Structure 1
Amino acid sequence: MTRPPALLVAALVASAGVAAAPAGATGDEVALNGTFTAFSDGLWAKTNEIMAYQADVTSRWTLTSSCTTYQDCTGTVTSDQGWTADLVYQSQRWRAVHVIRDWQRCPDGTTAPGEQSFTFWAARLDAPDRHDRLTGFDETTGPSGACGVNRWLNVRMPFTLTRTG
C-alpha cells in the first residue's frame, strides 16, 4: 500500500473543514482569554433538524484558558446568565457544555433539563485577529423520554463570539 502525497492529504484535511495549526504555533497563541459578546442567532435555528425560529440570545462571557501545547488547552467560561462551564480545545475547536435545569416544558407541567453545548472556532487560524471573532454552533439537547416522548428535543443555532475587552 502506498502513502498518499502530502499535498493530497493537506487538500483532504482542508476540505473536511479542519485547519492545520499556524506555522510555529504555541499554546500561548491558541489560548483564549478576555471578555466577549456571545450571540446565538435564532433566525436560523433548527429544532430536530427543521427550521424553526427561536429567540436570539445575547450574553456576555468571560473566558480564561491556558495551553500546554497548541493542541492541549483548557479553561473556564463564565456567562452573565449565571452559569460557568469548563472550556476545552480539541481539533481546532473550542467547546463548553453546561446543563440548563427545567429547559424543556412538558404538557403536564413538568420539565426536563437540557445539555447546552457551544462549539466555536476561528475562521482563519493564520489571521492576527483570529481570537476577536469566532463562529460555531449553540446546541441544546433534552433527554430522550422527556415529556413521554421517546425522542430527544434538539435545538441548534448559529453562534458567534466577538471580543469586547
Structure 2
Amino acid sequence: MARRAVTVAACALVLAGGVGDVAPAHAESDVALNGVFTARSDGLWAKTNEIMVYQQDVVATWTITSSCTTFQDCTGTVVSDQGWTADLVYQSQRWKAVHTIENWQRCPDGSTARGEQSFTFWAARLDAADRHDRLTGWDQTIGPSGACGVNRSLNIRMPFELTRKP
C-alpha cells in the first residue's frame, strides 16, 4: 500500500508541475564546443582500405564555434589553419565535420579525384569535468567510386585527437 501511495504522490507532483524546475541532465552550455584546439590525425595507426598502411601525421590548429538549442541539437563551424572551413554538427553524443579536398587522389594517368574528409569525435571521458579539453575519434577520407578507373573507393582512416590549447 505504501508503494501505491508513493506512486500516486509522484504522479500528482508531475501533474501539478512540481518538477518543471528540474534542470535537464545536460544543459545546452555543457554540450557546445568552442575554442582553439590542436587537431592531430595519427598516421602510425592509419588504414587504407582496411589494411594498415602508415600515413604521415597531420597536425593543424582548429578554431571551433558552436551553439546549441537543446543538449541534442548543436551546430557550428570549424576553421582550420590548413585553409578550409566546415560545418559542425552534434548528433548522438558525437561531433562531425565534413569538407571536400580537391585533387586528393592522384591517378596513374595524371588526373586527380576529390576526397570527402570527415572528422567524427567525442569526449574522451564523459564523466570528466574537462570533457571539452580532449576529444578523440576518426579522420576518414573517401574518394569517389570509379576514380582512376577503379570501381572501389580509396578510403583512408586514421585515429584523431582534438586537444584544447591553453
- TM-score greater than 0.5 by the shorter chain: yes
Deviations 1:83-107 (A, max 9, x none): 0000000000000000000000000
Please list every run of 5 or more consecutive structure 2 residues that lacks an aligned counterpart in the other structure: 1-23
Please list every run of 5 or more consecutive structure 1 residues that lacks an aligned counterpart in the other structure: 1-22
CA distance in 2, matches of 1:124, 1:157: 20
CA RMSD, aligned part only? Answer: 0.8
CA shift at 1:41, angstroms?
0.2
Q: Which SS does the other structure have where 1:112 is aligned? A: strand
Runs (4 or more) in structure 1 with deviation over 6 Å come to none
Partner residue, 1:3:
none
Partner residue, 1:102:
103
- Which aligned pairs between 1:64-83 and structure 2 lie closer than 5 A? 64-83=65-84
Aligned residue type for 2:164: R
CA distance in 1, matches of 2:140, 2:87: 16
CA distance in 1, matches of 2:25, 2:111: 53
CA shift at 1:27, angstroms?
1.0
Partner residue, 1:16:
none
CA shift at 1:123, angstroms?
2.1
Give the number of aligned pairs: 143
Partner residue, 2:86:
85
Partner residue, 2:57:
56
CA distance in 1, matches of 2:40, 2:128: 22
CA shift at 1:24, angstroms?
2.3
Q: Which SS does the other structure have where 2:61 is aligned? A: strand
CA shift at 1:26, angstroms?
1.0
Aligned residue type for 2:64: L
Q: Percent identity?
A: 78
Deviations 1:111-155 (A, max 9, x none): 000000000000222211000000000000000000000010000
Partner residue, 1:8:
none
CA distance in 2, matches of 1:29, 1:43: 33
